[in-house]
């Protein structure tokens, strides 16, 4: 016998489907929330890791900035020390030069001129003085240029003050300084090695040109001479024999 269901089964099936739909929707929502939570946690870990790296880089940058500041201070100190060293070396090199310069200034100045001011700046010197005439100034300039410790001299000024003194002319010179080649060679010469015992026992004496010429023209001492000098007694006897022979 056929079974006939007169209940509203479509409505019941709709309710079941709706229940399944809501269950699936809740499961999807829970899965989405779980995925979102996992993603949020993972992004938080990445952000924390990046923040830690940024903090580490900031600390390293601060340390490098401190080291760079120290290096700059050391560079400044090094530059100051090198400048002092250069000044000391320049003073050491020009210590003997100043003595020679004063000697040369005293030697080169003529009796008709006199220095009143002297100023050195590097490798140049400024001279001020008085003279009897322009010829005295020209003579002084020639003497300066002939000196091995001074170079070219430029006339800065010369004028006649028309006063009643013995030296009415005032002049100013700019002189370039120099050093003779022999002095530079002596300054850079290395120490000579000591001689051995034989050379120290018999030092070599430099021969003069005349002695060298005589040594070249004179015969060797080891070669015997064949010509015999007559003795003083033999000379009168032979002379008397010669006279007797002539008389006979």
Residues 6+ apart with CB under 8 A from 130: 113, 114, 116, 165, 167, 168, 169, 170, 171
Give residue 63's pLDDT.
95
Average pLDDT over the chain, rounded to whole?
75
Q: What ranges do the domains of the chain cover?
A: 95-185
Per-residue pLDDT band at 118 (split at 50, 70, 90) = confident
Lowest model confidence (mean pLDDT) among 23-27, 71-75, 139-143, 182-186: 182-186
Superfamily of domain 95-185: General secretion pathway protein M, EpsM (3.30.1360.100)
Tell me the C-alpha distance between 121 and 208, whole Å.
Answer: 46
Instruction: Please compute the mean of the pLDDT values over residues 83-91 and round it to a whole number.
Output: 86
Residue range 218-238: mean pLDDT, rounded: 41
Q: pLDDT, tens digit, for every residue of 92-116?
A: 766 767 777 788 888 888 888 888 8
8-42 pLDDT, tens per residue?
A: 778 888 888 999 999 999 999 999 999 999 999 99
Q: Say if residue 231's pLDDT is above 60.
A: no
pLDDT exceeds cutoff 80 at 195? no
> For residue 94, what pLDDT is reported?
67
The pTM of the full predicted model, rounded to 2 decimals, is 0.40
């Amino acid at each position: 016998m056929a079974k006939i269901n007169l209940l509203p089964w479509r409505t019941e099936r709709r309710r079941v489907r709706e229940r399944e739909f809501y269950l699936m929707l809740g499961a999807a929502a829970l899965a989405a929330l779980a995925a979102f939570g996992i993603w949020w946690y993972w992004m938080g870990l990445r952000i924390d890791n990046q923040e830690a790296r940024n903090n580490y880089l900031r600390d390293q940058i601060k340390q490098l900035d401190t080291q760079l500041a120290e290096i700059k201070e050391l560079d400044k100190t090094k530059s100051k020390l090198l400048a002092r060293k250069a000044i000391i070396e320049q003073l050491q090199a020009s210590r003997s030069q100043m003595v020679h310069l004063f000697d040369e200034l005293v030697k080169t100045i003529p009796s008709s001129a006199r220095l009143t001011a002297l100023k050195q700046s590097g490798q140049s010197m400024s001279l001020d003085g008085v003279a009897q005439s322009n010829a005295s100034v020209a003579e002084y300039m020639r003497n300066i240029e002939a000196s091995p410790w001074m170079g070219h001299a430029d006339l800065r000024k010369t004028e006649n003050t028309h006063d009643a003194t013995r030296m009415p002319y005032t002049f100013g010179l700019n002189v370039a300084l120099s050093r003779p080649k022999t002095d530079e060679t002596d300054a850079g010469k290395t120490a000579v090695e000591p001689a051995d015992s034989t050379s120290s026992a018999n030092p070599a004496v430099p021969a003069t040109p005349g002695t060298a010429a005589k040594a070249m023209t004179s015969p060797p001492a080891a070669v015997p001479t064949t010509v015999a000098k007559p003795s003083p007694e033999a000379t009168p006897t032979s002379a008397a024999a010669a006279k007797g022979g002539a008389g006979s």
